[in-house]
Chain A
Amino acid sequence: MSRHISRLLSILCALLFATGVACAASLVVPTALKASLEDTIGQQEVNIQLIGEDGKLAENNVITLEFQFPTDKEEWSVSHTVGFAYSSNLLKEKSGVLSFDITPLQYDADNVVDTQVSLDTNNSNVSISEGKQFNVLFSSGFSGDVPLGYITITASKPASQKLAAGEYSGSISVNLTSSN
């Protein structure tokens, strides 16, 4: 009987010892960690850019067009084209109007060349109203160098008009007004 008891005791002790050793040896792997990496990209308002006839964006948004008037013809017309594009990063879409102020090519008050503009666009978010302004729906999100359309400026002289020799100059300015 006592042999049984001592055997049981030794088994019990062995079990207790083994459990203790196991507890001391194993390490509890800690819980996972979580980091939230955050940042905000700010809204960028609409920025209109000019595109030259070479297809390149104009530096400082200024383009110089040189009209060479024919000297061997009584009646003539000369045209040049300027393109428009925009960049923006809007939280919400917005509409805008791109309009143009034109001063005709002139030498002085008596020598003015008739200067006309015509608009065209391939952008489905752009419509032309009254033949002289672009109505634009600017999309939300990032838009980089999105073509809006182009304007063709035509200087023309009828045969009946006499022009003084010299340097003629005119200007066209672009205005953007947005509705919201």
Chain B
Amino acid sequence: MRRFILMVMACAVVLMPLCADDGQVAFADVQSSVTGYLLHGFLDEKDKNLTDGAELKNSVIADDALSQKGATLTYIIKTNKDTPLVIYANVTPFKQDASTTAKIAIASVAVDGVTLTPITGLEFLPNEQPSDSTGEVSNEDVTDTQKYELIDFQAESGKNEYDYTINVKANQNDVAEAPAGHYISSFTLSMASKS
């Protein structure tokens, strides 16, 4: 009975404006709110000089990654909420596409020029993987993967874009003695809210 009354009341609330008689004035309170948004992505190399309107990418490819300078990624967070966030990265060693076991270790990961130390023994659940992944991560990769806490920050009210430059360098001793071939390292970046 209560459920029936509840349903009737809900319908009544919805239909009330439609039932107003001709000549009567209907009032409605209009309330709205600005919804929060939280976006992140990489900037393509060609878009780095764009000040506005550059599209954020879920996945990018960085070339010349075995050079002494390493691979540089431009990472951007956009939000209108003053929320605490942590950004994690999982980085696999460079491996050949073929069946060889040749690997090149990651020498360093730096954010805005600050070199980071890998974190161990920290468990976290990565976000859902992007659908257009650029490479498969095997079980073997998981054991080789280094985890980093890249960025730990509090988004400020009134500021809505945060730019970071991430640099990943390969071990140059490994590069010098690595078999010829094409090498790929997978860099996965996930975000967690501390709130």
Binding site for B on A (CB under 8 A): 4-5, 8-9, 12, 24-44, 89-91, 140-142, 144
Min CB distance B117 to A, Å, is: 19
Partner of A30, one of B40, B102, B168: B40
Interface pair A34/B67, CB less than 8 Å apart: no
User: CA–CA, A148 to B176, complex, Å?
Assistant: 21
Partner of B40, one of A4, A25, A33: A33
Instruction: Determine whether B53 belongs to the interface, using a CB cutoff of 8 Å to chain A.
Output: no
Q: A36-B186, A142-B179 are in contact. Are A31 and B102 (CB under 8 A)?
A: no
Closest-by-CB residue of A relative to B1 is A4
User: CA–CA, A37 to B36, complex, Å?
Assistant: 32
Partner of A39, one of B66, B73, B193: B66
Partner of A41, one of B2, B35, B61, B183: B183
Interface pair B6/A142, CB less than 8 Å apart: no
Interface pair B6/A38, CB less than 8 Å apart: no
19 CB < 8 A contacts A-B: A4-B5, A5-B9, A12-B9, A24-B35, A24-B36, A27-B193, A29-B38, A31-B127, A33-B42, A33-B58, A34-B187, A34-B188, A37-B71, A37-B168, A39-B64, A39-B182, A39-B183, A41-B181, A141-B102
Other than the known A33-B75, A144-B177, what 19 A-B pairs have Cβ atoms closer than 8 Å?
Answer: A9-B9, A29-B38, A30-B127, A31-B127, A32-B188, A32-B190, A33-B59, A33-B190, A34-B58, A34-B133, A34-B135, A35-B62, A35-B187, A36-B62, A36-B185, A37-B184, A38-B185, A40-B182, A41-B180
Min CB distance A42 to B, Å, is: 6
Partner of B66, one of A24, A41, A144: A41
Q: A9-B9, A34-B187 are in contact. Are A39 and B65 (CB under 8 A)?
A: yes
| Size of the chain B interface, CB-CB below 8 angstroms | 63
Q: A9-B9, A40-B182, A41-B181 are in contact. Are A34 and B189 (CB under 8 A)?
A: yes
Interface pair A34/B38, CB less than 8 Å apart: no
Task: Enumerate B22-77 residues with CB–CB distance to A below 8 Å.
Answer: 33, 35-42, 57-67, 71, 73, 75
Give the residues in chain B near A144, CB-CB below 8 Å: 177
Interface pair B182/A34, CB less than 8 Å apart: no
